Structure 1
Amino acid sequence: MEVVKRMKRLFSQLKRGTRCSGVLQICRLSGAVVLSSMLGACAVAPGMRMSTSPAANATDAPDAPRVVNATDASPEVPITELNMALVRRMQDDQVKEQQTQVKLLSTVPQAYTVGVGDVLQIVVWDHPEIAAALGGSQAQASTRPGDPFSGFVVDQAGNLNFPYAGTLHVTGLRTEEVQSRLTSALAKYFIKPQVTVRMASYRAHEVYVDGEVRTPGVVAVNDVPMSLYEAISRAGGFADTADQSDLLLVRQGATQRINLTQMLTRGVSPSRLYLRPGDVLRVVARDENDVYVMGEVNKPVSAIPRRTGRITLADAIAQAGSVNSSTADAAQMFVVRGALNGKPEVFHLDGRSPVAMLVAKEFDLQPKDVVYVDGNGLVRFNRVLTLLIPAINAGLTAGLVAK
């Protein structure tokens, strides 16, 4: 403030026509202003940067943990240093989580049971008159693709109406069980009836395959247990935009995320995962699982995972055109994760050593991670000068004009 007051007094003297030495004094004062701005350049530098400080309960040791400075909108978050030991530990945790998931989803396939809407083909040998119950249409082909095959349809109540046998409740029964009940019911009217029951059309049980497959829609479940692979294959296979590491399986109100890529990497066959009637399988698109790369990189970008769904820290930086060698501080690379799930995490990588590049190559990013590369001190200092020098030059010009 004292410097400003002195400059005002000198400008007033120039207006009254005082000596030229006032201009020299203004120049000296301007130089003092520039010097003071140089000392505080890093503190007042414009632009985005990651501000950190030692943890509140930490000592002043050089290796003391740090936290991201708290603001009114966010709490303090500890910073985790990225190294190979941490990457291995995270990979081991992924393996354990996947093994638990496989045990949960790997169930013994159940035999197909008759349901509402199924069509049964029933033959009573040596009694062709019973076929008349179909109105002679049993041998006729369906005229439209949506028409069921001819036969006896299980009604909405789950019942089967058959001549002489009457009404039988058949939902939840296997075909051999239906055959046994029909034989017992017909034995009241025929001597040792020979009955054959088989499925003519599977319409009761379905799974739904949605998302990035070539032909999304309803897939009918038949007597062959439907594995995860078969469901995707019957939906036309993966589309080019599919993220094979992110499949959502919705079963009875619970959602499981299946990483098909990691399963294959760990030697786990996805054919062990069987779908159940009513399951919904959605294949997520890769552009839904992008990560954001910003800061001092050559091309800030929303990085897209590969077709396998995997994207590492090195991949993301490469898609951003690498770090800016003129402005970036390689020692200040951050990964911000989990801002919306209530468990935010911040990872720090000192990228000045070749070992750090190995860590970046193995550290897997998660969807919606934010990768930020901070700028170096010289860049922030230069930005301050860029803003201050025009103002100082304007003041000097005003002084000279006033004289």
Structure 2
Amino acid sequence: MDVRKLAACVLVAATAGCTVVPGSNMNRMNSVWFDDTPEEYTPAETDIQYIPINATVLAHLSQTTPAQVLSNAELEAAIADYQYRIGPSDVLTIVVWEHPELTIPAGSFRTAAEGGNEVKADGTVFYPYAGEIHVAGKTTAEIKAMLEEKLASVIKRPQVDVRVADFKSQRVYISGAVRQPGTLPITSTPITLVDAIEGLGGLADNAAWQHIRLTRNGQTQEISLRSLYEQGAWSENLLLQHGDLVHVPRNDADKIFVLGEVNRPQGIAMSRTGTTLAEALASANGINENRADGRGIYVLRNTGVSRDNANQPVYTATIYHLNAASAVGFMLADKFTLEPRDIVYVSPAPITRWNRFLSQLLPSVSAVGVIDDLGDNND
């Protein structure tokens, strides 16, 4: 067999083996997958749900629970029952009416905090004629009653006023993507999660407000303030306690990836108020009209990992399919809200895949031509 025939046979074999046109494509009807996983690995199971994007699906996805938007009865009850309890390092101002000799004057050069009674580390304060009294864990009303009882032996019907001049024993810690991270004191006024964030300048522009983490007594829970800021859902708000650590993470990971036949494939940071499929496509400078198949726009969403009966991992995902061949499709795209880490894929048109196949085939055809010329010269 001469060189020309050998090259032709190689080319025919190569084209015969091209059962899949080169280049990425998505077709839910194609169930043939090529698995090159090594034999020593146990293949993981996948559970993929296919959902077309239409008006019925959008109506289901946009369902809300209005009851959660109205109020937070638990928070309202906690605020109504709130009482500040004294702790070490707090400074008290104690006044016995008509007995100025028992009151430490603030003076013109001292504040009430500087001239008050500081609670010692053991939770006690000293007061004339009352001695050392334990005040830690008590309210100002309880301390007032204690002092009136102790002073009654030396003062006829004593009238005592107790106030906190400086709150120093309790505080909450706010870190992460807020404008002024720091600490806030717990005072006689109850402080909620929103109060604390707003007290430090509010959320930063890059804050992931749906993934706020609250650590209390060694336990961490995730709180979403998205529905609160967007819809006034006070059910997301809560009363903070001493030692609470609130961390607001950055939204760097909250991205959407737009791939395939768009003019500028890229990762897009999600908007704080949410990003729709139409907005994501527009951020990628739209679909490429010359190469894209408007009937094949997909949203791939990883919905988690579970375990089967044999304790093997099962990866679940949902694929949403939009047919945007008409203007109605883009109207639906503007109503479809994406989630962080969603992958938007725009399929190539059949002619695009064919042209790519030809672009890979032509170098081989050219090589055969060169080989053919060499064979003629050798003859």
TM range (shorter): 0.7 to 0.9
| Deviation digits for residues 85-124 of structure 1 (CA, Å, limit 9, x no counterpart) | 22222222x5379559956666531122222321111122
1:320 to partner: Cα distance: 0.9
User: 1:89 aligned to 2:60?
Assistant: yes
* Separation in 2, partners of 1:103, 1:291: 36
**Alignment-derived partner of residue 258 in structure 2:** 293
**Aligned-pair identity (%):** 30
Among 289, 294, 298, the alignment partner of 1:325 is 289
Contact 2:213 2:246 in 1 (8 A): yes
CA offset at residue 73 of structure 1? 5.3
Matched to 1:170, the amino acid is V
Contact 2:301-2:342 within 8 A present in 1 as well: yes
215-224 vs 273-282, which moves further: 273-282
1:117 partner amino acid: S
Q: Please say if residues 294 and 346 of structure 2, whose CA atoms lie closer than 8 Å, have aligned partners that are also in contact.
A: yes
Which of the residues 169, 179, 184 maps onto 1:219?
184
- Give the whole-Å Cα distance in 2 for the aligned partners of 1:391 and 1:246: 53
Secondary structure, counterpart of 2:341 in structure 1:
coil
Cα offsets for 1:33-69 (capped at 9, x unmatched): 39x83x875x4333333353478xxxxxxxxxxx999
**3-state SS of the aligned residue for 1:47?**
coil
**Which residues in structure 2 correspond to 1:1-20 (within 5 Å)?**
9-11=1-3
Q: Name the CA shift for 1:10/1:227 in 2 (closer, same or farther; >3 Å).
A: same
**Structure of higher CA gyration radius:** 1
Task: State whether residues 194 and 237 of structure 2, in contact with CA within 8 Å, keep that contact through their aligned partners in structure 1.
Answer: no
Q: Tell me the equivalent position of 1:361.
A: 334
Residues 51 and 68 of structure 1 are in contact (CA less than 8 Å); yes or no, is this contact kept in structure 2?
Answer: no
Q: Normalising by structure 1, report the TM-score.
A: 0.75
Which residue of 236, 246, 250 corresponds with 2:201?
Answer: 236
> What is the distance in 2 between the residues matched to 1:101 and 1:52?
44
Match of 1:18 in 2: none
**Superposition TM-score, scaled by structure 2 size:** 0.79
String of CA shifts for 1:179-210, please: whole Å, max 9, x gaps. Answer: 11111122233322221100100122222222
Structure 1 unaligned regions, length at least 5: 1-8, 12-22, 56-66
In the alignment, structure 1 residue 316 sits paired with structure 2 residue 316: no
Q: Secondary structure at the match of 2:187?
A: coil
Residue among 248, 251, 259 paired with 2:225:
259
In the TM superposition, what is the alpha-carbon distance from 1:211 to its structure 2 partner?
Answer: 2.5
Q: Name the counterpart of 2:94.
A: 122
In the TM superposition, residue 218 of structure 1 has moved relative to its aligned partner by: 0.5
Between the aligned partners of 1:68 and 1:268, the Cα distance in structure 2 is 46
Aligned residues: 358
Aligned to 1:349: 322
Q: Distance in 1 between matches of 2:157 and 2:184?
A: 40
Mapped pair 1:176 → 2:147: no
Deviations 1:321-345 (A, max 9, x none): 1112122222222222236555533
Cα distance in 2 between the residues matched to 1:96 and 1:345: 27
Shift of residue 388, structure 1, vs aligned partner: 1.8
Q: Using the alignment, how far apart are the partners of 1:272 and 1:356 within structure 2?
A: 38
Change (3 A) 1:104 1:287: farther
Q: Residue 398 of structure 1 corresponds to which residue in structure 2?
A: 371
User: Which range moved further: 182-191 or 248-257?
Assistant: 248-257
The alignment partner of 1:357 has SS state of helix
Residue 286 of structure 2: SS of its match in structure 1?
Answer: coil
Distance 2:214 2:71 in 1: 12
Q: 1:54 to 1:26 in 2, by over 3 A?
A: closer
